[in-house]
Amino acid sequence: MSALYEPFQLRSLTIPNRVWMSPMCQYSAEASGPDAGAPGDWHFAHYGARAAGGTGLILVEATAVSPEGRISPGDLGLWNDRQAAAFRRITSFLKGQGTVPGVQIAHAGRKASTDAPWRGGAPVGSEADGWQPVAPSPLPFDDGHPVPDELTVEEIQRVVADFAAAARRARDAGFEVVEVHGAHGYLIDQFLSPHTNHRTDAYGGSFENRTRFALEVVDAVRAVWPEELPVLFRISATDWLTENPNDEREGWTVDDTVRFAAVLKAHGVDLLDVSTGGNAPKARIPTGPGYQVPFAERVRSEVGLPVGAVGQITEAGQAAKIIENGQADAVLIGRELLRNPYFARHAARELGGEVSAPVQYHRAV
């Protein structure tokens, strides 16, 4: 059997295979009113189909820890108990299919209050359910984006508490894995990178200061999350900016990621979900099949922390080789799972692996 279909153990949790679903925003929740941020029929059908398709772990899209932490007014949230209750229908169904339910909790920072991508993704104001973004420093994301408010130390601590509260609700909602979103230019990533963090207090400047907020979030989440269940952290391994220390545009680098991965491991993070980019809109990114896998491989080999690999992983053989070659412990599939909810099942047939099928579908196995 292909290593892609071997179970994977994280703390007490056994994930049935190494084909996992990457968090991908759907921008399809109610924007306002009592059901704002709560999952609906679209989310149930969307995630349920991938579970029926044999995906081992599903990480639900970036789910905001506060209303102002949303990327768009249509984002999911876990800032109130009504939202947590609405998730239980989804987590129960996923578990019933043999899939582990996970959720990515997030704060968008300066990239908040934007429209859905199919409407252009531009910033939206209060007339379209928008709000004022916040960030570590008052630097807009791109041309045409608002200058965010710089967070005070008191406000930073409030966001840390929001992450902890969201993690507590995630467990109440039935999730068994929680992932802290520290990638793609969202708030935690903004603190990590000197490209976006120009603070001069305890949260800016040195590596230790720039990583302080991320570690406070991880510690707060780990403190409320069950000891027997895993915490994941998604990171952008590089901003794809120059690594010349004399260049004012210098950002977060792969060397920073390797260094920080060891710290995250010491703080109770069980797996690093390794992506790249998102913090500098004009960065040049050399994309291609598996282009981010080497970053995951380096963390795994140098730190000994389990890793997930992402980025244009679209074929069964390609995914299997990543696991078999020891480059990653799991592959997180994105767009290919949007195209084909049954990717895990089809790949198993091609590779000689095995995934459970819903009993209603046995005549087609």
**167-211 tens-digit pLDDT:** 999 999 999 999 999 999 999 999 999 999 999 999 999 999 999
**53 and 339 Cβ atoms separated by less than 8 Å:** no
Distance between CA atoms of residues 99 and 49, nearest Å: 11
Task: Please report, for the chain, the start and end positions of each structural domain, with discontinuous segments joined by +.
Answer: 3-364
Report residue 246 as tokens: 């004399």
Q: Which of 5, 27, 47, 186 is an active site residue?
A: 186
Tell the CATH topology of 3-364.
TIM Barrel (3.20.20)
The pLDDT score that the predictor gives to residue 357 is 83
Q: What angle do CA 186, 189, 194 make, to 5 degrees?
A: 125
Q: What per-residue confidence (pLDDT) applies to 362? A: 86
pLDDT of residue 242: 66
Contacts of 251 (CB under 8 A, 6+ apart): 193, 194, 195, 196, 238, 239, 240, 241, 279, 280, 283
Residue 319 to residue 12: CA distance in whole angstroms: 25
Whether pLDDT at 276 is above 50: yes
Angle at CA of residue 159, ends 84 and 43, nearest 5°: 30
Sorting pLDDT into bands at 50, 70 and 90, what band is 248? very low
362: Cβ contacts below 8 Å, ≥ 6 apart? none
Amino acid 244: pLDDT:
46
Strand runs (DSSP E) across 192-269, as ranges? 231-236
Q: Where are the beta strands (DSSP E) in 139-258?
A: 149-150, 177-182, 231-236
Average pLDDT, the chain: 96
The answer to whether residue 291 is catalytic is no
- Phi, then psi, of 217 in degrees rounded to 5: -65, -50
CB 113 within 8 A of CB 124: yes
- pLDDT for the residue 66: 98
- How many other C-beta atoms are found inside a 10 Å radius of the C-beta of residue 46? 20
In this prediction, residues 307-318 reach a mean pLDDT of 97
Number of residues written out for the chain: 365
CA distance linking residue 94 with residue 48, whole number of Å: 6
With 0-12 / 13-18 / 19 or more C-beta atoms within 10 angstroms meaning exposed / middle / buried, residue 228 is exposed
Q: What is the mean pLDDT of residues 73-98?
A: 98
Rounded to 10°, the helix 254-266/212-224 angle is 30
- Whether the per-residue pLDDT at 280 is higher than 80: the answer is yes
CA distance 354 to 349: 7
Q: Which of 52, 45, 151 is nearest to 107 (CA)?
A: 151
% residues pLDDT > 70 (the chain): 98
Q: Which pLDDT tens digit goes with each residue over 110-154?
A: 999 999 999 999 999 999 999 999 999 999 999 999 999 999 999
Average pLDDT of the segment spanning 5-23: 98
pLDDT band at 252 (very low <50, low <70, confident <90, very high): very high
